[in-house]
Amino acid sequence: MDDELNILPISSHIKSITPVPVNEDPEGLSESERDLKNLKQELSEDFPVGPLIKKCCTLDQGKAVVTFLDAILDKSLRSTVALLAARGRGKSAALGLAVAGAIAAGYLKESLVLESCIDSPGVLVSMLRILTKAVFPQCADGLRKSAYLYFFTSIVFMVICIVLYNVAHKLPIMQYYEELKAEAVKEEKAEKRYITEDVHSLVLKDWYLVLLITGYNVFDLVGKSLTAVYLLENAKVAISACVVRLLFFPLFIGCLHGPQLFRTEFPVSLLTCLLSLTNGYLTSVLMIMAPKSVQIQHAETSGIVMVLFLVVGLASGSVIAWFWVI
């Protein structure tokens, strides 16, 4: 089978197949090798392209790295580059060189993930299945032992990942980039002010944000539980209360930029708890009322739609929060 998944005929004539002649120059280089050498010489003085191109082994790999780096160095984040090739063509190596170029270009605050092979977990599972089918009998006891082996293998890999995660920060390269990241954060704080940076406490220090988040979660749970004590059954009042909650926005702005009295821990904590309390209660009220407001055959669909919009709203709020700069 060739690279294009064409099944090649098998016959005795295979023995008489001779290699295709390659046109070589006086230096013994083929046309593609000569083009790769010229490309390396042409970009040798460009940083970071030059040093990375020298690592390429084929012309196609060199062109792929150049295309990746053109998109990275443009820094507009408006282009997407896809690389498709058969196995064994150096895709992972080209992507690795592109990641190195991205780091050199200053993309230290971005999370760059390189997935070298999607099929690796599938290969592992398939090999385990072959092993269990060959070793264990195909009965209830054998299937039980197979399941134990699957779970044991997963646990081993998870333990290995946890150990590697906890020792990775000790590597010199990780410490180097942590220092660069700390310097970048200092520069960013000097230029911009985010809401999370303005929320601080000289008394509670780094416990302040932890306690705020804990208080939000606790009062959100309390709000959801209050429906068991009193359930608001007026839909117009519930929707109006949701709209009124928009007043929390100017109140929090006042805690950030208002008088010194509003910038203390108590007003911010009180508003946070009220925000979570009303969020938990009104969310539960609307989730309970929605299925009751339609015909019985549509009640389940109504609940699904409510959950869908809730999840979409939470996801949208998380995305918008990245752009909420005060």
| pLDDT tens digits along 200-218 | 677 777 788 788 888 888 9
| pLDDT tens digits along 134-156 | 888 878 788 788 888 888 888 88
Residue whose pair of structure tokens reads 């409510």 in the numeric block: 306
Return phi, psi of residue 236, to 5°: -65, -40
Residue whose pair of structure tokens reads 């032992």 in the numeric block: 145
Please tell me the predicted confidence (pLDDT) of residue 113.
Answer: 44
Confidence of residue 277 (pLDDT cuts 50, 70, 90): very high
CB 269 within 8 A of CB 212: yes
Q: Would you call 236 exposed, middle or buried from its count of C-beta atoms within 10 A (0-12, 13-18, 19+)?
A: exposed
CB 101 within 8 A of CB 49: yes
Average pLDDT over residues 226-243: 88
Long-range contact list for 320-325, CB < 8 A, 24+ apart?
A: 324/195, 325/192, 325/193, 325/194
Give the torsion sign (CA, 86, 88, 91, 94).
negative
Return phi, psi of residue 256, to 5°: -90, -40
Please tell me the predicted confidence (pLDDT) of residue 243.
Answer: 92
| pLDDT tens digits along 63-75 | 888 888 888 887 7
Least trusted range by pLDDT, from 90-104, 108-122, 146-160, 257-271 = 108-122
The answer to whether residue 324 scores a pLDDT higher than 70 is: no
List, as one string, the DSSP characters of 61-127.
HHHHHHHHHHHHHH------------TTSSHHHHHHHHHHHHHHTT--SS-------TTHHHHHHHH
Length of the chain: 326
The answer to whether residue 185 scores a pLDDT higher than 80 is: no
Average pLDDT over residues 89-98: 83
Percent of the chain at pLDDT exceeding 70: 81
The answer to whether residue 191 scores a pLDDT higher than 60 is: no
pLDDT, averaged across the chain: 79
List the structure tokens of 177: 């980039």
Confidence of residue 274 (pLDDT cuts 50, 70, 90): very high
pTM: 0.42
Please tell me the predicted confidence (pLDDT) of residue 119.
Answer: 47
